[in-house]
């Protein structure tokens, strides 16, 4: 059981003792802190917050606590009910709201839930703002509204329609080209809200939709993180149905993984690569991902004459760099597509529409499209250290060891060699260095990881 309070929100397991888990009291306290923070920072009286949730079992209970607490502070609530992270992000500015709260523990298993906090632009609040919310929660310095000033409550049921219409209106989404292809598509939404939103979008795009795990009841039929080892069922069904494509999203629909017509994973890293390949052919500007994402994006961008930039890990960092570099596309290798012409947040719906446009225009099978991209393989390892070791100085030593190479210290130490790279990141909670590698083969990626472990040990 656990409760993780961080600048990006509060996340924990349901049940158990206060302050050790995400209990009702913790939910109320944290919501009060966010509402108070909004009131402290806005120079207006009537504030509105948009709330939406994924389909996990605890969602309705947490939603009641959050919406009632906001009303208790005198804040108006627009409740989208079952929604997705990108849908709430789109609806905050759409409804001229002052902030948003998404109730989702993303890809975490069913016992988890979390509050993700959005500012008035529908973007995640930054680290500084998150620290202020945490401090307010710590001090419990809240001032609830008197009876005549309680917040109003309103439900909206048209958020998916609005979100999808905005996607269909994007000049880079060619619905007619997609419709002409009559794609047959299998969808695995792990019984969360992607099971509503993705089929609705696909039907608008003239696809023949086969639903697998699309009942938004929160009973996850497999581990909800869209990784190969959890996706056997959809791979089988795509083959059996002779579908063109399989689509997998996580419970809050900000991560998108694809399956080709042979039932093989397209590779989560390659969702962004394919979408960027399409966009950069038509829109001038840079591409951004984080330091741990595949080099394939850099290769594709450079081939098309575009610049590529890498940010620190974390969606907020990707978005900040995208704004700085005026990027036209960005995201994360975990299947997170950020398309700023719609909004600055990972959005699987826009990812699906852009990918299908690309697929329709290229007139290839999904596996043939995948074969046009450079193939890289990733390795993940870690080295466990003892608490007396100064991890920061160890990382500095590694940086010095490889100073002749291209080294970035934006987030840990990333060393770009000619044919591969390694990214060393320290854990904030344990004496561990995580070692991410990428190379032209799995063997090479794993060997590079081992080589780095040996090098780190030699420097201790």
Provide the binding-site residues for Mg ion, judged by CB under 5 A.
Answer: 106, 250, 252, 254
Q: How far is the CB of 250 from Mg ion (least distance, A)?
A: 4
* Spatial contact of 279 and 327, defined as CB atoms under 8 Å apart: no
What minimum distance in Å lies between the beta carbon of 108 and Mg ion?
Answer: 9
Q: How far is the CB of 438 from Mg ion (least distance, A)?
A: 23
Between residues 79 and 250, which has the closer beta carbon with respect to Mg ion? 250
Q: Give residues with Cβ within 8 angstroms of 278, minimum separation 6.
A: 172, 354, 355, 357, 358, 361
**Taking the complex as a whole, how short is the minimal distance between the CB of residue 225 and Mg ion, in angstroms?**
9
In the complex, the smallest distance separating the C-beta of residue 105 from Mg ion, rounded to whole angstroms, is: 9
How far apart (Å, rounded) are the C-alpha atoms in residues 145 and 25? 19
Active site residue: 83, 106, 294, 348, which one?
106
First to last CA, the chain: 34
Q: How far apart are CA 92 and CA 112, in angstroms?
A: 25
Transcribe 411-442 into DSSP letters: SSEEEE-SS-EEEEEE-SSSSEEEEEEEESSH
Closer residue to Mg ion in complex, CB, 132/225: 225
The angle that helices 85-94 and 159-168 make with each other, rounded to 10 degrees, is 90
Min dist. Cβ of residue 217 to Mg ion (A): 18
Name residues whose C-beta falls within 8 Å of residue 224's C-beta, 6 or more positions apart in sequence. 107, 108, 109, 190, 192, 230, 250, 251
CB of 395 to Mg ion, least distance (A): 29
**If DSSP codes are grouped into helix, strand and coil, which group holds residue 115?**
strand
Q: 8 an active-site residue?
A: no
In whole angstroms, what is the distance from residue 47 CA to residue 54 CA?
24
How many Cβ atoms are within 10 Å of 384's Cβ, its own excluded? Answer: 9
Q: How are strands ordered across the β-sheet holding 245-249?
A: 208-212, 184-188, 245-249, 256-259
User: Do the Cβ atoms of 439 and 422 come closer than 8 Å?
Assistant: no
- CB-wise, 106 or 191, nearer to Mg ion? 106
Per DSSP bridges, beta strands 432-439 and 377-384 are antiparallel
Distance of closest approach, residue 141 Cβ to Mg ion, in angstroms: 32
In the complex with Mg ion, which residue's Cβ is closer, 103 or 394?
Answer: 103
Taking the least distance from each CB to Mg ion, the nearer of 272 and 383 is 272
Question: Per-residue DSSP letters for 337-373?
Answer: EE-TTT-SSB-HHHHHHHHHHHHHHHT--HHHHHTTS
Compute how many other C-beta atoms are within 10 angstroms of the C-beta atom of residue 430.
Answer: 12
Nearest CB to Mg ion, comparing residues 123 and 254: 254
Residue whose beta carbon is closest to Mg ion: 106
Q: Toward Mg ion, which CB reaches closer, 112 or 308?
A: 112
Helix (H, G, I), strand (E, B) or coil at 394: helix
Q: Which is nearer to Mg ion, 342 or 413 (CB)?
A: 342
The order of strands in the sheet holding 329-332 is 308-311, 287-290, 329-332, 336-338
Beta bridge mates, 18: 21
Catalytic residues: 106
């Amino acid at each position: 059981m656990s409760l993780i309070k961080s600048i990006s929100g509060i996340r924990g397991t349901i049940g158990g003792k206060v302050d050790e888990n995400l209990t009702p009291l913790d939910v109320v306290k944290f919501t009060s802190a966010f509402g108070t923070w909004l009131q402290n920072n806005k120079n207006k009286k009537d504030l509105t917050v948009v709330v939406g949730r994924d389909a996990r079992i605890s969602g309705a209970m947490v939603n009641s606590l959050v919406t009632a607490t906001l009303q208790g502070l005198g804040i108006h609530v627009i409740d989208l009910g079952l929604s997705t992270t990108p849908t709430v992000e789109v609806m905050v500015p759409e409804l001229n709201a002052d902030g948003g709260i998404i109730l989702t523990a993303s890809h975490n298993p069913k016992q988890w839930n979390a509050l993700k906090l959005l500012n008035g632009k529908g973007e995640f609040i930054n680290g500084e703002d998150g620290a202020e919310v945490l401090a307010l929660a710590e001090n419990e310095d809240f001032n609830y509204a008197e009876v005549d000033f309680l917040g109003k409550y309103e439900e909206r049921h048209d958020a998916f329609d609005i979100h999808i219409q905005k996607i269909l209106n994007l000049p880079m989404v060619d619905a007619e080209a997609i419709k002409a292809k009559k794609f047959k598509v299998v969808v695995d939404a792990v019984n969360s809200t992607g099971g509503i939103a993705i089929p609705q979008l696909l039907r608008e795009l003239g696809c023949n939709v086969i639903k697998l795990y699309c009942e938004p009841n929160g009973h996850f039929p497999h581990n909800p993180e869209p990784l190969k080892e959890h996706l056997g069922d959809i791979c089988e069904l795509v083959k059996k149905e002779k579908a063109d494509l399989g689509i997998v999203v996580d419970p809050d629909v900000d991560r998108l993984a694809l399956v080709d017509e042979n039932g093989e994973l397209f590779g989560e890293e390659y969702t962004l690569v394919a979408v960027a390949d399409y966009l950069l052919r038509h829109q001038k500007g840079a591409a951004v991902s984080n330091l741990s994402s595949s080099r394939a994006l850099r290769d594709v961008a450079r081939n098309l004459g575009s610049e590529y930039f890498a940010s620190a890990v974390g969606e907020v960092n990707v978005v900040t760099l995208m704004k700085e570099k005026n990027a036209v596309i960005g995201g994360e290798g975990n299947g997170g597509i950020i398309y700023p012409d719609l909004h600055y947040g990972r959005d699987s719906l826009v990812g699906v529409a852009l990918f299908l446009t690309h697929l329709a225009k290229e007139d290839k099978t999904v596996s043939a499209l995948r074969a046009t991209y450079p193939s890289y393989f990733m390795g993940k390892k870690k080295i466990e250290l003892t608490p007396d070791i100064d991890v920061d100085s160890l990382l500095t030593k590694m940086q010095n060891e490889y100073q002749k190479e291209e080294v970035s210290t934006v987030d840990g130490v990333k060393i770009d060699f000619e044919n591969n790279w390694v990214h060393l990141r320290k854990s904030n909670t344990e004496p561990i260095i995580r070692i991410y590698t990428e190379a032209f083969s799995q063997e090479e990626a794993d060997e590079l990881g081992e080589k780095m472990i040996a090098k780190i040990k030699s420097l201790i």
